[in-house]
Amino acid sequence: MNEEKLINKQLIRNMIYNLIAFTAIFTAFGVIIYNQVRISVYSDAESELLRYQNTSANLISSDDETETTQSTVAPNPTLPFPSQIGRIIVSPKVTYLLRDKDGNVLNATSVGRIYNEYLSNLSFDKNNIGQIYDIKVSGKYTFKGITFKSVDSNNQTEYIQLLINVDSETAILNNLLKILIIGTTCAITFAIIASYILSRESLVPVVKAWKKQTEFTQNASHEIRTPLTVMQLKQEQLLKNPNSTILEKVDDINLTLDEIGRLTKLTTDLMTLARADANMQEIKKEKIDIDSLIQEVAKPYVELAELQNKKIIFKLNYKKEIMIDANKMHQLMVILLDNSIKYTGEGDSIEVVTYAKDNHCMIEVKDTGIGISEEGRKHVFDRFYRDDKARSRESGGTGLGLAIAHWIVSVHGGSIKALKNEPKGTIMLVKLK
């Protein structure tokens, strides 16, 4: 229960982290898009205002030079500049207001209905000289504006305020903003789902490793506790009879030694798997004649099989060298042959076959023994798994041999399967690259 709580907490934590990351990415992406579009949409309007400002300034400058050179001409009491800038402003979107030094509009009549209905209450700020600014008219119309100074024929300071309507551009940006908000909301919703899925998937190997480690610890504790308990009981019995001779207690001593041997083998297997899990096992591959290696490994088992009225048959037809770790392959064959000897009875046979198939080295160890159940064949390479626990314990099995065999084949880039042998028994099929 505590494990599930910890896993769920980690799942929620990972999901939150992923969600924050996704949200930050989508939000940043939306802000970048909006700003880039905003700059692009308003660039034409702002360029047009600046162009009119520069054109007007050049015109004023040329008029001032003309008045200086023609000193005999009487000063014109009217303001020629409004008519001049009127000739410059050719876009219907641009409106100009001519203001005196106090900010009062001087050309309201020429602006006409637009001024009376919309621009009469327009605020004016003398501090925005030469800068493009946004201004709202009647609370719903949006303009871009720029203001610059001018001097009339009487050397009186005037202000020219250029305004360009950007309602269409603003509408585009507002629609884009709505789309981005909706899109980001949908993206974040999907991100929540994706974060949960990714977090759950990322925890799958962790959960598997955790459960595997827990099962491994529990099984190892159980396997170690059993021989220790037997040894303790036998030693306590010996203490109760201190005057007994070795001959009288030979069975108890033999049982204790058997359990010590079993415990030693178990410890060795556990160390092998622990080092394998930590990638501390070195693999030294070299070219080896696999047929000769198998023949050499099987020699003691041939004699053992004969003593138990069993038979080992060899059909070694690979007849090529292969890049393998000789020590690990020796260990693999010992495990397979040892299992075959243990789980076959008198009169049964064991067949060791090698052959080439699709550029792979195939090794088969077939026996006519008790076999493995269909369910057992699915789990036979799991650590501490025993199809028949009672018989495995009687034979000294720990349930780790085939797990080690699976690891040896895996580090060689191959595969191992447990198949049913007809009419009875098991086939251990090994495929090496």
Give mean pLDDT, residues 55-63.
56
**What are the backbone angles phi and psi of residue 249, rounded to the nearest 5°?**
-110, 20
Helix (H), strand (E), coil (C) string for 94-119: EEEEEECCCCCECCHHHHCHHHHHHH
CA nearest neighbour of 102 among 132, 138, 129, 126 = 126
The predicted pLDDT at position 352 comes to 93
- What are 215-233's pLDDT values in tens digits? 777 767 767 777 788 788 8
- Cα 303-306-312 angle, rounded to 5 deg: 85
CA nearest neighbour of 428 among 297, 340, 356 = 340
* pLDDT exceeds 50 at position 72: no
Give mean pLDDT, residues 75-102.
61
More confident: 355 or 157: 355
Give 379-383 contacts, CB < 8 A, sequence gap 24+. Answer: 380/418, 381/405, 381/406, 381/416, 381/418, 383/212, 383/215, 383/216, 383/219, 383/273
| DSSP per-residue codes, 367-394 | E-SS---HHHHHHTTSTT--SSHHHHHH
The predicted pLDDT at position 267 comes to 81
Highest mean pLDDT among 153-157, 273-277, 422-426: 422-426
The predicted pLDDT at position 207 comes to 76
* Sequence-ordered list of residues with C-beta below 8 angstroms from that of 417, at least 6 positions apart, any chain: 428, 429
Give mean pLDDT, residues 337-364.
91
Average pLDDT value for the chain: 80
What are the angstrom distances between the C-alpha of 25 and each of 14, 30, 39, 177, 397?
Answer: 17, 9, 21, 17, 56
The predicted pLDDT at position 83 comes to 47
* pLDDT exceeds 70 at position 203: yes
CB atoms within 10 A of CB 184: 17
The predicted pLDDT at position 294 comes to 92
- Percent of the chain's residues with pLDDT above 70: 86
Q: Is 138 left (phi over 0), alpha (psi -120 to 50) or beta?
A: left
Give mean pLDDT, residues 65-76.
38
Give mean pLDDT, residues 274-296.
84
The predicted pLDDT at position 91 comes to 66
pLDDT grade for 89, boundaries at 50, 70 and 90 = low
Helix (H, G, I), strand (E, B) or coil at 39: helix
* pLDDT exceeds 80 at position 351: yes
347, with CB counted inside 10 A (0-12, 13-18, 19+), is exposed
> Alpha-carbon Rg of the chain, whole angstroms?
46
75: preceding bond cis by omega (within 30 degrees): no
Alpha-carbon torsion 268, 270, 271, 272, what sign? positive
Give mean pLDDT, residues 258-283.
77
The predicted pLDDT at position 268 comes to 80
* pLDDT exceeds 80 at position 161: yes
- Percent of the chain's residues with pLDDT above 90: 17
- What are 371-430's pLDDT values in tens digits? 888 888 888 888 877 766 545 555 556 678 888 899 999 989 899 999 998 888 999 999
- Tokens matching residue 27: 């939000």
Q: What pairs with residue 428 in β-bridges?
A: 365, 418
More confident: 157 or 299: 299
* pLDDT exceeds 70 at position 81: no
CA nearest neighbour of 259 among 399, 401, 403, 393 = 393
Locate tokens 């000193």: which residue? 71
